[in-house]
């Protein structure tokens, strides 16, 4: 498939000294990693002051975004998160060597990174996705919006490109969006009091009610879980809700400049 | 990873204390997390493909037509019966079509192991 297209020549230019960086943790929380990093390379640390960057060598060739590579990135961070707060880096960040990492990133940004680590102490990311079941949400639209019901009857057996079909589809789309907005607002109102911060994923995906990350105190994870459980139990057969975590705070790490995005 | 939600078993909420698959965390790994300036190489093959493929946006005539067709296909008597069965059985666990399709995309783009 496309991902396996020939490696770009530039990829081979990574120096032998290159270090892949997974994330940043406090020196006091940096423990030896039992598992291997990308391409089976050992995971170690590069340090400056209070900070330890979790790094490994780069496998011969280059870094690739295969399933196991992505999961390895995630697993290294998850392992470090067992021992303390960790600031995840986005996948695919490689420094020329340890010196560059220390001189150009870890030391110049030391105070800011250390502050971020302290701010995130005791906090975890919970990832929530909620999706409507197609038949349930469409059934509601048809039953509860008379215009949709009528148009549906009128368009039965029409060709897909017929203007009336477009009208019907537009109405259904608007109805689904209105329900999504209403339900998402209701769900967020319940969860908001339980969290420090939250971030909604932007891009809408069909029948998705909510995809969001919540920054939650560890001791409130159970309360959050129960609130979400209650919402799910009130929408059986209608909305599927999934909770992933506790995770390191991937969605809540930002630097003042040259940071996210 | 610590299982903080242990002991609150439920049929309604699907829980994954640690991610059960790449689909659960691919957004976090690719789109979130610290990004660092100037002195860094981002040396990854395939990222663009993954992020583009994974984004299915609703905003077109195509979408309207798909909605129209889906509504026309819908068997209301069946969905009502199914709804009741769900209530009686205490909810189902996640075989939603839309979600399935989306996760399918993610699985597809990163299947190469």
Region of poorest pLDDT, from A214-218, B41-45, B103-107: B103-107
Chain B nearest-CA residue for A172: B67
A65/B50 Cβ within 8 A: yes
Chain B environment of A67 (Cβ under 8 Å): 22, 110-113
> Where are the domains positioned within chain B?
22-109
**How confident is the model at residue A246, as a pLDDT?**
95
B100 touches chain A (CB under 8 A): no
Residues in chain A closer than 8 A to B93 (CB atoms): 240
Higher pLDDT, B38 or A85: A85
Q: Residue A208 in contact with residue A130, Cβ under 8 Å?
A: yes
In the A/B pair of chains, how many CB contacts fall below 8 A? 323
Rounded to an integer, what distance in angstroms lies between the CA atom of residue B111 and that of residue A232? 31
Other Cβ atoms less than 10 A from the Cβ of A202: the count is 8
Q: Taking a contact as any Cβ pair under 8 Å apart, which residues of chain B between 3 and 62 contact chain A?
A: 4-5, 8, 10, 12-20, 22, 24-47, 49-50, 55-58, 61
- pLDDT tens track for A162-205: 788 889 989 999 999 999 999 999 999 999 999 999 999 876 67
Q: Is A1 helix (H, G, I), strand (E, B) or coil?
A: coil
Comparing B65 with A105, which gets the higher pLDDT? Answer: A105
Contacts by A112-119 with C-beta closer than 8 Å and gap 24+? A112/A255, A112/A256, A113/A24, A113/A51, A113/A87, A113/A255, A114/A26, A114/A49, A114/A50, A114/A51, A116/A87, A116/A253, A116/A254, A116/A255, A117/A24, A117/A25, A117/A26, A117/A50, A117/A51, A117/A85, A117/A87
Domains of chain A: 2-121 (no CATH), 124-252 (3.30.70)
Nearest-neighbour CA in chain A from B81: distance (Å): 11
What is the distance in angstroms between the Cα of B28 and the nearest Cα belonging to chain A?
Answer: 6
ipTM value: 0.75
Res A148 pLDDT > 90: yes
Query: What's the whole-model pTM score?
Result: 0.77
């Amino acid at each position: 498939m496309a991902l396996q297209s020939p490696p770009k020549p530039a990829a081979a230019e990574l120096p032998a000294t290159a270090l892949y960086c997974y994330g940043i943790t406090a020196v006091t929380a940096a423990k030896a990693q039992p598992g291997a990093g990308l391409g089976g390379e050992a995971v170690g640390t590069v340090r400056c002051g209070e900070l330890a960057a979790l790094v490994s060598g780069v496998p011969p060739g280059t870094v690739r975004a295969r399933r196991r590579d992505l999961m390895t990135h995630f697993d290294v961070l998850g392992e470090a998160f067992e021992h303390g707060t960790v600031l995840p880096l986005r996948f695919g960040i490689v420094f020329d060597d340890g010196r560059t990492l220390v001189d150009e990133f870890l030391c110049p940004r030391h105070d800011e990174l250390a502050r971020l680590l302290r701010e995130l102490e005791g906090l975890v990311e919970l990832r929530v996705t909620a999706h409507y079941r197609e038949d349930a949400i469409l059934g509601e639209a048809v039953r509860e919006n008379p215009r949709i019901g009528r148009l549906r009857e009128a368009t039965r057996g029409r060709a897909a490109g017929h203007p009336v079909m477009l009208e019907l589809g537009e109405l259904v789309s608007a109805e689904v969006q209105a329900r999504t907005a209403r339900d998402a607002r209701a769900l967020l109102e319940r969860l908001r009091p339980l969290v420090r911060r939250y971030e909604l994923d932007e891009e809408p995906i069909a029948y998705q009610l909510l995809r969001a990350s919540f920054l939650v105190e560890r001791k409130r994870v159970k309360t959050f879980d129960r609130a979400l459980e209650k919402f799910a139990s009130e929408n059986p057969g209608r909305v599927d809700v999934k909770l992933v975590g506790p995770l390191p705070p991937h969605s809540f790490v930002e630097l003042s400049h040259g940071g996210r995005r | 990873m610590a299982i903080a939600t242990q002991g609150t078993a439920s049929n309604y909420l699907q829980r994954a204390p640690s991610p059960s698959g790449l689909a659960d965390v691919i957004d976090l790994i690719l789109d979130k997390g610290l990004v660092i300036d100037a002195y860094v190489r981002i040396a990854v093959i395939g990222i663009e493909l993954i992020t583009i493929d994974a984004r299915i946006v609703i905003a077109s005539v195509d979408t309207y037509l798909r909605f129209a067709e889906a509504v026309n296909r819908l068997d209301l008597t069946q969905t009502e019966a199914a709804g009741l069965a769900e209530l009686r059985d205490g909810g189902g666990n996640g075989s939603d079509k839309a979600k399935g399709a989306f996760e399918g995309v993610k699985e597809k783009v990163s299947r190469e192991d």
